[in-house]
Structure 1
Amino acid sequence: MIRQDLKYSVGDGAAFGLMVGMGETYLPAFVLAIGLGELVSGMIGSLPLFLGGILQLISPWAIRKIGSHKNWVVACSLVQALMFVPLIFAACRGTLGTFEVVLIASLYWGTSLATGPAWNTWIGTLVPVRVRSKYFASRTRISQACVFIGFIAAGLSLQYASQQNRLLTAFAILFSVAGICRLISSYMLARQREPFPIPAGMVRRPITQTCRDLTEGPGGRLLMFLVATQAAVQMSGPYFTPFMLNNLKFSYLQFVSLIAVAFLARIFALPVWGRLAHRVGAMRLLWIGALGIAPVSLGWTFSQNYYWLMTIQLYSGAVWAAYELAFFLLLFESIPEQQRTGLLTVYNLINVTAWVCGALVGGLLLYSMNTSFNAYLILFALSGLGRFLALLLLTRIPHLVVASSEIGMRTVAVRPNGANLDAPVLPSMPDQTDEESVRNEVALTA
């Protein structure tokens, strides 16, 4: 039975990955294609994230009312799949209002973020402790491979459709396939067992208490660094798509290849960084990643030569993998395993809030400079400067020693600048604060 559950979970991860690669990743490009403009294209990849982060806060209440993590995850996944339906109709009509696209994307992200903490709790009751590390590493790679396949297939389809003057038809087809993939993912989720709908001993803390846990001690300083870095990154991050498609006039093939290079670099670099973290520690790896991502956006100001940007993207994907792995290891090291799902909910909200604040500042700057070519270059330079300034906050974090290795990841969104939205698979992380809870969980899953 366990083996069958694990196979269905891999199927869910694969179908979800295809949806990510074909669907939401291309929403900013779709917004440009229907004529909503560069600023809306940039904001559609960020503003709905904040609204989604707010909506996900109802998930603990909803889970208690439903009495099941599984049922909540399946319900949210079905709603997320349905969000592609209005996008399909919009592509067929060739028109969609700004309010409508923001609402659709917000509901998409609300249901997406709401599934994360609940799914982590549920999958933790299914996967035996002794196989978690190997299983989640394998599941992550399969899911990421499907993200890549979906992304490349969609990009090639758009390239062909643009040459045939049937771009919106291609978007309608892609959104249809993405929605079907999410429905398949929902089916795979529904086929898995739920041994413990509400696991015994599960800690339910008020959000205010979880916030205090996060902000006290080293965790608070780490979060301050996250907020500053994320805000600086997202000043420019959402606007790479309109810059490439509208200003540089890149083809969809060039656009896709630049993002694909960064994504592949992340995939291949992650296990390498995991081994390095095991030797030198997560704190040193965080410094490597933070220093590495600081100059990335500056590289776009030196030259817009396609092959130069390919090099920048390759570098960006590799250093973002180091930054993300180290940050997750350090953030969750002081939180007992049974409290981590609540922490993930709050982390999601803080992360997307910083994301949106940065995007709003960047959008205002672009608007004030009439979204000119030079405005983008200034924005990229300011984003790089902000990342360097955020390093000052990193110096205030005391050296932390944690168990460090590769962990499972869920790629929730792919972004052009390499700063993808990933979520850690919490059961793949060792419980570094409460050995007794690990022993209890082993007995639970035996």
Structure 2
Amino acid sequence: MSQRHSKDPQVERSLRHSVKDGVAYSVMSGSGESYFAAFSLYFKATTPQIGLLASLPPLLGSLAQLVSAWAGRHTARRKPVILVGATLQGVMLLPLVILPSLFPDQAVTIILGCAVFYFAGANLAAPQWSSLMGDLVPERRRGRYFAYRTRLCSMTAFLALLGAGITLHVFDVAGLTLVGYLVILLVAALARFVSVYHLNAMHDPPGHVASLEWPFGVGFWTRVKGSAAIRFTLYFAAMQFAVAIASPFFIVYMLRDLQFSYVAYSVNIAVSVLVQFLTLNRWGRISDIFGNRISLLATGAVIPVLPLLWLVSTNYAYLLVLQALSGLAWAGFSLSAGNYLYDLVPSNKRVTYIALHNVTAAMAVFLGALLGGYLGTHLPSSLDVLDQHFEWLSPLYGVFVVSTLARASVAGLFLRKLREVRQVRSTTMGGLIFRVARLHPLSWMTFDVVGARRRLAPRRGPPPAGRDN
């Protein structure tokens, strides 16, 4: 790590190990988790089965967060819980290397079962890891540190995606597709074990164990009822529901309907990851300076239209540009949403809020994917509108349209109610777009000088009506 994020040497070493952990985790995610659905399609999984694979493991796995909080309270330490969860993830990749090839008729069921425990491991570690990082990362550097870490992780995931896709292509051409899958899954498992090593090297400050407050007690709901955290969780879960209607099925659309090769598929997915790598540092700086609300507003306006744009063309170059736009929007949304939740939730209540937040979001994803899977097999492949007959290339087009309408409805209902939590500098939507889109480094200086002059200029009256300062 080139820059320092803490003056405490022990904390600084831990943050360095956290970056290395994230890089190793990204290798696992890029070469393993990213290909779960494609692996299932190799064994002829149906559209509803793909929806179930994308939604049921995260839902059941999210319940492990409750176990995580219970274990943290009883062990009085965070790191052992984190290590158990991370190790479980790596271990559950090993059966995928062996069992599907031995029992091909039950392969989809085996993949689904392993995925449940895989996500359980991730969720077992998540609350304690979030609590640990919340204590280790200085608040004023949080946006830039996580942007830096996520940027490296995104680049690693990009390379892992491409490497796995090329590996699959080489073995596929040789008629050994299954062997290719076994290779990339084994690499993913080994990468997770490297991640465990770096997690074990991190410092766990005593006295800050993440324990879960009983979420169904009257006292808890009295405190959180109507709070900004609950409103944001409802918005986030509703958006996840709308997104999940379509998101599991883009893989089906590319591999089954468009007949992408593994290289074409991996490049398409990797473009989105690459754009996240290129823009996350900028999103992090925007988050630190201007707050998270403005980023959520901007990305929340783009995300609803993304599924609809898949209907415009099947041209490969066009779809790459679309994936780049998707990566830009999701980079800003994911980073800002995570930071916004950190800002909303007191540190002593963080694990309870995060657990409820994640379980609620996982339930929303499950329901959205179930709806998408149902629609994918029941919506007609043609449509008559105003005496015009439309023949759809894929029955999934209807799923994409429904997802767009649902996303737009959620954005219209919730986005206006978001309020910035911290004291931050104000900016307009145009200013935000300028900062995200600028290409020349001198743009920072020009924009800051102009912005400073405007901020220092005396006001000649009240701000315009409706302007949120």
Q: Which position in structure 1 is the counterpart of 2:196? A: 186
Asked whether the equivalents of residues 63 and 123 of structure 2 are also in contact (C-alpha less than 8 Å), the reply is no
- Among candidates 218, 241, 247, match of residue 251 of structure 2: 241
Match of 2:338, SS state, is helix
Q: Which position in structure 1 is the counterpart of 2:34? A: 25
**Alignment pair present for 1:85 and 2:94:** yes
Q: Which position in structure 2 is the counterpart of 1:309? A: 319
Structure 1 pair 55/287, CA: closer, same or farther in 2 (3 Å)? same
Q: Which position in structure 2 is the counterpart of 1:12? A: 21
* Structure label with greater radius of gyration: 2
Q: Which position in structure 2 is the counterpart of 1:283? A: 293
Structure 1 pair 133/391, CA: closer, same or farther in 2 (3 Å)? closer
**Alignment pair present for 1:383 and 2:403:** yes
Structure 1 segments, 4+ long, off by >6 Å, are 128-131
Aligned-pair CA distance for 1:10:
2.7
Match of 2:311, SS state, is helix
Q: Deviations over 1:151-202 (max 9, x none)?
A: 1110111111111111110111111111111111112222334341x427x6
Taking the aligned partners of 1:192 and 1:273, their CA distance within structure 2 comes to 27
* More relative contact order, 1 or 2 (CA 8 Å, 6+ apart): 1
Asked whether the equivalents of residues 231 and 355 of structure 1 are also in contact (C-alpha less than 8 Å), the reply is yes
Aligned-pair CA distance for 1:401:
4.4
TM-score, normalised by the number of residues in structure 2: 0.79
Structure 1 pair 171/345, CA: closer, same or farther in 2 (3 Å)? same
- Among candidates 350, 363, 379, match of residue 353 of structure 1: 363
Q: Deviations over 1:294-332 (max 9, x none)?
A: 110000112111111111111111112222333334333
Q: Which position in structure 2 is the counterpart of 1:434? A: none
**Alignment pair present for 1:205 and 2:213:** yes
Q: Which position in structure 2 is the counterpart of 1:218? A: 228
Taking the aligned partners of 2:90 and 2:66, their CA distance within structure 1 comes to 20
- Among candidates 65, 77, 81, match of residue 72 of structure 1: 81
- Among candidates 122, 131, 135, match of residue 112 of structure 1: 122
Structure 1 pair 218/56, CA: closer, same or farther in 2 (3 Å)? closer
Aligned-pair CA distance for 1:132:
5.8
Match of 2:395, SS state, is helix
Residue correspondence of structure 1 range 376-415 to structure 2 within 5 A: 376-394=396-414, 397=417, 399-403=419-423
Aligned-pair CA distance for 1:134:
5.5
TM-score, normalised by the number of residues in structure 1: 0.83
**Counterpart code for 1:317:** G
**Counterpart code for 1:304:** T
Q: Which position in structure 1 is the counterpart of 2:458? A: none
Q: Which position in structure 2 is the counterpart of 1:428? A: none
Aligned-pair CA distance for 1:102:
1.8
Structure 1 pair 278/81, CA: closer, same or farther in 2 (3 Å)? closer
Q: Which moved more, 1:393-402 or 1:236-245?
A: 393-402
- Among candidates 54, 60, 82, match of residue 45 of structure 1: 54
Asked whether the equivalents of residues 221 and 393 of structure 1 are also in contact (C-alpha less than 8 Å), the reply is no
**Alignment pair present for 1:366 and 2:376:** yes
Aligned-pair CA distance for 1:105:
0.5
Taking the aligned partners of 1:184 and 1:41, their CA distance within structure 2 comes to 29
- Among candidates 244, 251, 269, match of residue 279 of structure 2: 269
Where do 5+ consecutive residues of structure 1 fail to align?
Answer: 406-446
Quote the RMSD (CA, aligned, Å): 2.6
Aligned-pair CA distance for 1:29:
0.3
- Among candidates 174, 177, 186, match of residue 184 of structure 2: 174
Asked whether the equivalents of residues 156 and 253 of structure 1 are also in contact (C-alpha less than 8 Å), the reply is yes
Structure 1 pair 359/398, CA: closer, same or farther in 2 (3 Å)? closer
Match of 1:264, SS state, is helix
Structure 1 pair 402/178, CA: closer, same or farther in 2 (3 Å)? same
Taking the aligned partners of 1:334 and 1:256, their CA distance within structure 2 comes to 37
Aligned-pair CA distance for 1:136:
4.2
Taking the aligned partners of 1:321 and 1:61, their CA distance within structure 2 comes to 32
Aligned-pair CA distance for 1:130:
7.8
Taking the aligned partners of 2:19 and 2:421, their CA distance within structure 1 comes to 32
Residue correspondence of structure 1 range 118-157 to structure 2 within 5 A: 118-126=128-136, 135-157=145-167
Residue correspondence of structure 1 range 295-306 to structure 2 within 5 A: 295-306=305-316
Asked whether the equivalents of residues 297 and 383 of structure 1 are also in contact (C-alpha less than 8 Å), the reply is yes
Q: Deviations over 1:237-288 (max 9, x none)?
A: 0011111001100111111111111111222222323344456543232221
Taking the aligned partners of 2:162 and 2:369, their CA distance within structure 1 comes to 26
Query: Kindly, what percent of the aligned residue pairs are identical?
Result: 28
**Alignment pair present for 1:333 and 2:343:** yes
Taking the aligned partners of 2:15 and 2:228, their CA distance within structure 1 comes to 36
Q: Which position in structure 1 is the counterpart of 2:266? A: 256
Match of 1:301, SS state, is coil
Taking the aligned partners of 1:295 and 1:121, their CA distance within structure 2 comes to 35
Asked whether the equivalents of residues 329 and 404 of structure 1 are also in contact (C-alpha less than 8 Å), the reply is no
Aligned-pair CA distance for 1:143:
2.4
Where do 5+ consecutive residues of structure 2 fail to align?
Answer: 1-8, 382-391, 426-469
Q: Which position in structure 2 is the counterpart of 1:408? A: none
